[in-house]
Structure 1
Amino acid sequence: MQTFPVPTVYEALNLVMKNFPDNISQETRVEVETLLDHCLDGLSACSEKFLTTLFIKAIRKHIGPSGTDEHIYLKKFEVPQIELFNLLIEQFPFVKKCHEIINDTILEVVGDSSNIIIIDVGTGMGVQMNSLLKKLSASNSLRRVTLIGIEPFSEALDHAQSVISKVSCPFALNFIPVRSFIEEVDFEWIGEMIQKSGGDLVINESLALHHIKQQTDRHRVIKKLRGLNPKAFFLTEPNVDHYEPDFQRRFQNCYQHFYHVFQVIDQLPIDEVKRNGLKLFFGREIDDIIGGNEMDRVEKHEPAFRWIEKLLVNGFKPMNRFSNGAFDLGYGIKPEFDDFSGSLGLRFKNETVISLIHAVCDDEFSFV
């Protein structure tokens, strides 16, 4: 009697995904539920099973549940949003180290300037800018800092304003909150504020531009930012292609990316509930990438070389220059300069999870 090897969890999920979302038969539904039952057995102890459960959760948004409710099993790992956010900033090394590297490089860029303007795109709850302001406070030359924080969500922006207002600085600090998506910002108004302030401009973007749904808008925003003539433009973006329209390829990109992210989470010095709570947090992104309708999806990440292409055609050039880009990041994460794209990637095993780009205005570029 011929026997066949039992497929791995990924192989089984990949077979299901070949039929999703257009060719889901009753047989495929049974396969989905069988795989879910397998993954829920030992869910908390196995990252691959946890990850696969999150993918199945996204699938079931479309095909509907016909068996076990995975929410019951996942609910025990829910952690309050503010606690998750603190975990990401304080414990998740990709976010924490990106902030440190970018902030240290901004310090070098502004040098002995007496008056600087910082536009922070995707300022969130103000954590990165709070840390940057504390570092800038050691400067003997700074007399004035104007910080323009762009963030679409009121609760986060209010928190950022509260945190930043409490920073004790030896220079005059003017925080200007802008509640808006970056593609809806009034750049003429921003330009007028910059002109009035008259300082050296630095633009920082952190995990925000990939939320712009259309490529035309991404190009338009970058061109508008170039028109502000910054001394430097920093981008921090996940290095993965979730803009990919082909579902099967997008699934494979997504699985590879989060499989490696989860392996890093497994090393964090936190308890099991918090560890799996972080994984559940990233499950919201998987919901969007896999379960979201194409027109509604917002987690449309692109690899670094695609962002570099957009920068080049809109008047920027990459510098490939970062402060502290070679130190040990821990958890098996290695910094790696990509000479092809001009970016600094933070790599775990064979996956570059996130990329940092340092760009400056190309003075030889001609706007047509």
Structure 2
Amino acid sequence: MLSNSSFSTGGSHGEEQDPLLPLPLPHTTPYFSPMIHIRQLLISCAELVSQSDFIAAHRLVSFLLSSTSSSAYGDSTDRVVYHFSRALFLRISRHTFFDSNTFLSSSSSSASSPICLQALESSYFYLNQVTPFVRFCHLTANQAILEAVEGQQSIHIIDFDTMQGLQWPPLMQAIAERSDPLNPPFIRMTGTGHNMETLQRTGDRLQNFAQSMGLRFQFHPLLLLHGSTADLPSIITLFPDETLAVNCVLYMHKLLGEDSNDVNLFLRSIKSMNPKIVTLAEREANHNNPNFMQRFISALDHYTTLFDALETTLPPNSHERLALEKVWFGREIVDIVSSEGEERRERHERFESWVDKFRSSGFSSVPLSAYALTQAKLLLSGHYHLEGVEGYKLQIHDDSSFFLGWQNMPLFSISSWQ
């Protein structure tokens, strides 16, 4: 770990730098040449924070923020330094008298404040369009649902955190292609979220698309308040002749908190509804660790890999990438690093943790089909394969779960249960 004396900027021997003065620019020091040194500086700053040495931590994070290696517009390394330094500065400012606006602009320091719905929806659309991660989850979950409801005339899909409903048009089209046009199945969808206007717009779009496919379709918007997931059968109407599918794509981690009982209650509530299939997609990361240093290093590894993937997929000055990193990934980093307790919302856990939770609630894993694997491979080879670049990697675990990562780092997992 770097000591306070590591940040001396010159002057007489042994003279200490004023902690409130800016540190020298990085081109005057060898620390900022390879990525491994920058990574160590971020970890050293996090260690100082974990030890409540906020004066030394402030000096180091000020150095990082004022360096040329910290930029939202630079390469992937610059962007990692930028977002993690901001998050560390915000955490330090919450424990000290340091003003978070000293180095952070008003726009960047608002990373932990509420964001407009339109910006959030746009960033999710970019996430779906410019990376394979969401498409991979949607495609694999849809194939599992399609196989589970094969030949059924009455289908009920409960989709948690529906947002724009980007997942569902491909599934509707696949169901329509397999159905008798004179007797199409009836699809009823319960879409959950936190904004009724968004849900209603999504329902209207899906209704219009289903009609164009010749499908009978109903959409039921459902606002889910905190704690309301514990007794789902009392708030979701079920019919005995329906085949039920439950979709939890990038949703379950939102139920995690200081008390993990919410997840157990949710899963038992789902189990009591007797679904034919439950699809689960989550980040492959451990951001729910109560130990700050372990959580910080896990997040640093995860987002460094994500930003490397974006660097290869998108051009340097891509507006889509900038919006995605600011509104989506940047805000996640701020939450993971700067927040604690009930205030912290981004609590991703690794796949093995979800396996334990599902099994303890009475679920068994359902193998993902060979066709689902073929589709996932086609997605990556057709849209995200770059000549000469060893990039996105697909891994299979026990035929029941797929992992999508960048190079050798898994980033997302998808599985199905019953």
Question: Is the shorter-chain TM-score for this pair beyond 0.5, marking a shared fold?
Answer: yes
Supply the distance in 2 between the matched residues of 1:183 and 1:135 (Cα, whole angstroms). 35
204-213 vs 342-351, which deviates more? Answer: 342-351
Amino acid at match of 2:204: S
1:348 paired to 2:387: no
**What are the within-5 Å matches in structure 2 for residues 82-93 of structure 1?**
82-93=121-132
Matching residue within 309, 326, 342 for 1:295:
342
Amino acid at match of 2:104: E
Who is 1:316 aligned against?
363
Please list the CA deviations of residues 78-116 of structure 1 after superposition, one character each: whole Å capped at 9, or x if unmatched: 994443232112222101122112112221221111111
Contact 2:31 2:38 in 1 (8 A): no
1:166 paired to 2:208: yes
Aligned residues: 352
Residue 190 of structure 1 and its aligned partner are, at CA, apart by 4.7
Supply the distance in 2 between the matched residues of 1:239 and 1:61 (Cα, whole angstroms). 26
1:194 paired to 2:238: yes
Residue 42 of structure 1 and its aligned partner are, at CA, apart by 5.4
**What are the within-5 Å matches in structure 2 for residues 103-182 of structure 1?**
103-141=142-180, 142-167=184-209, 168=211, 169-181=213-225
Amino acid at match of 2:187: V
Q: CA RMSD in A?
A: 2.5
Residue 342 of structure 1 and its aligned partner are, at CA, apart by 4.2
231-240 vs 177-186, which deviates more? Answer: 177-186
Who is 1:261 aligned against?
306
Please list the CA deviations of residues 206-253 of structure 1 after superposition, one character each: whole Å capped at 9, or x if unmatched: 111111123111011011101111111100111111111100000011
**What are the within-5 Å matches in structure 2 for residues 242-261 of structure 1?**
242-261=287-306
Contact 1:239 1:355 in 2 (8 A): yes
Who is 1:52 aligned against?
81
1:306 paired to 2:353: yes
Residue 71 of structure 1 and its aligned partner are, at CA, apart by 2.8
Who is 1:10 aligned against?
39
Who is 1:363 aligned against?
none
Who is 1:325 aligned against?
373
Please list the CA deviations of residues 166-201 of structure 1 after superposition, one character each: whole Å capped at 9, or x if unmatched: 21242321111111147414423356x2125x2111
Normalising by structure 1, what TM-score?
0.87
Amino acid at match of 1:37: S
135-144 vs 89-98, which deviates more? Answer: 135-144
Larger radius of gyration: 2
Matching residue within 91, 97, 100 for 2:139:
100
The 1:24–1:131 alpha-carbon spacing in structure 2 relative to 1, beyond 3 Å, is farther
Contact 1:335 1:344 in 2 (8 A): yes
Amino acid at match of 1:231: K
Normalising by structure 2, what TM-score?
0.78
Who is 2:253 aligned against?
210
Contact 1:342 1:357 in 2 (8 A): yes
Contact 1:119 1:203 in 2 (8 A): yes
Contact 1:183 1:221 in 2 (8 A): no
Who is 2:17 aligned against?
none
Contact 1:318 1:342 in 2 (8 A): yes
The 1:89–1:296 alpha-carbon spacing in structure 2 relative to 1, beyond 3 Å, is same
